[in-house]
Structure 1
Amino acid sequence: MFHLMMNTFNGNRFVVCVLIWIFLFLHVVSSEKGPCNSYFNGCCPGTKWDWDENNCAECEPGYFWINCTKICPYPTFGKSCAQTCSCTNTSCDFANGCKNGK
């Protein structure tokens, strides 16, 4: 009798665990917010909330940081500030690079 009760208890515990995992999975999948919960609407650094699309979107070229609030520091520019200007600070645009095209 005790063995039967323990099997039923373990079976119920397993079902409860499975239901909890399903709930958590569906909550994450159905959430419209991003994966970084400690930031506004769950948008990770390097992204910002797009009100039209109702989700997190990558920063525009020339911007980075939390909610895309900082511009690329000289001499960097472009998407994720991954490119480098070969011109002076005054000629380098943080989004597009050297204004004279060099």
Structure 2
Amino acid sequence: QSFLIDHGMTLLGAEPNWRLGAILPADALFLLEMGSVLIGFIASLAVLRRIADNTHEDGRMATRAMAPWLALLALIAVLAVALFTLPMEMRGMMAG
């Protein structure tokens, strides 16, 4: 709404209605974020497993080859969860 008003278009009214800002409650957004991280981790794990199986004929060797990448994937997922648990005010403070 603000974008349209800033550009001289009053299709949605002359003043922005800030009550419309939150489409989903914060709890639902948090669950959506955590679900996205989990789905991304599982998909990355599936890709990693497929690459390891195609590269190594021996299953034990494939699992050993996956270990460092699995640790990296887990670290990225944990950091994503930590970032999403920060309050929004904390995320924007560095911008000034």
| CA radius of gyration, larger in | 1
Kindly indicate whether structure 1 or structure 2 has the higher relative contact order, using CA contacts under 8 Å at least 6 residues apart.
2
Point out the structure with the larger strand share.
Answer: 1
Point out the structure with the larger helix share.
Answer: 2
Give me the TM-score of the superposition, normalised by structure 2.
0.34
